Amino acid sequence: MRPDFWPALRSPIPWIVLAFAAIMPFLLPNYYLHVLTITLVYAALASSWNIVGGIAGQISLAHSLFVGAGAMLASALLVKLGINMWLGMIIAAAFSAAMGAAVSFIDYRFRLGHLSFALITMAFAEMAEIYVTNTEFLGGASGLFLPKDMGNLLAFQFGGIKGIYWIMLGMAALCVLVNFAILSSPLGYNLRSIRDNENAAQAIGVGLLRNKTLAMTISAVLTSIIGTIYARYLAFVDPYLLVSPVLTIEIVLFATVGGLGSALGPAVGAFLLAPLGEILRGQLGGLLPGFHYFVYGLVVVGVILLMPAGVWPSLRERFSRKPTA
């Protein structure tokens, strides 16, 4: 670990922010708490994706596959076979880890370029959506309804929106912490080396397969767990929402706007765009369906032109710059 990792954890600022966020359920009405919960879901997903797409520079468009595995598989195991959703979450996470490792092996075996890797992973995501919508065990095109949340923690029930909010707050914080830990570790150095120049990284002894597989596996497991929790919150798992490649595009947009490769950037991007999207969808969805994607596009263009590194790295650089005499 870099020497600044532990002092950063001992700083009171992140703990004050978390404490303030934790009391939101007592201050906000349910609608705005719902918007904040969805924002935390996207912040966690964007931070998980950042491990692969930002730090390692591997633009994966297959993360809807991992979200779908966590949501659809864990839900199907509960509804169809009566398997406790905690165990279902572990099974789905293990399946996602295996899929992530397989994607990394294909990338290593065929030495895919960035564009080829993006296209291959998008193809996997499309195939996953087609498979899920045509598989009765996973709910097919109609999806699956989960049992009502009665607040039984042993049955993976968290007592409604407040409980889910606190769980997602913890997951978002964990995903940011994992990013920070990776960036502060030898793994982070290896992944950034691979991102900058794979051949040079390999020449200095960085193992491409080992490091890429580790990054993808960590990212896939976190993403799958978030998918399972998100499914419990929705109480209905819709394959067109949870397995669609459009979900991955949103995650990539949030991470890009916030700042690829930084620990906090993807979460910042989610907090900028996700509430805006939810509110626009709620207020104008009937009149202008898809309008929030148009707004996303405008924000992305603006950020790329004004803050090419992303919002968080640009703000951090601006405020840390020493004034000149």
As a whole number of angstroms, the distance between CA 187 and CA 133 comes to: 37
Q: What is the CA radius of gyration of the chain?
A: 20
- Residue pair 177/46 in contact (Cβ under 8 Å)? The answer is no
pLDDT of residue 123: 93
Q: Is the pLDDT at 3 greater than 70, yes or no?
A: no
Quick count: other Cβ atoms within 10 Å of Cβ 91?
Answer: 17
Length of the chain: 325
As given in the structure block, the two tokens for residue 194 are 């691979």
pTM of the model: 0.94
CA angle, residues 265, 45, 277, in degrees to nearest 5: 80
Residue 284 pLDDT more than 90?
no
Give the mean model confidence (pLDDT) for residues 224-240. 94
CA distances from 36 to 264, 292, 294 (A): 17, 17, 21
Query: What is the mean predicted confidence (pLDDT) over 14-42?
Result: 94
Q: What is the DSSP string of 141-164?
A: GG-EEPPP--S-GGGT--SSHHHH
Q: Which position has the higher pLDDT, 9 or 234?
A: 234
3-class SS of residue 237: strand
φ, ψ of residue 45 to 5 degrees: the values are: -65, -45
Rounded-to-integer distance, Cα 55 and Cα 182, Å: 9
Tokens of 298: 């405008």
Query: Which residue has 């994706």 as its token pair?
Result: 49
Bridge partner list, 145: 236
Summarize pLDDT for 70-97 with one digit per residue, the tens.
999 999 999 999 999 999 999 999 999 9
Grouping H, G, I as helix, E, B as strand and the rest as coil, residue 236 is strand
Give the range among 8-22, 47-61, 224-238, 282-296 with minimum mean pLDDT: 282-296
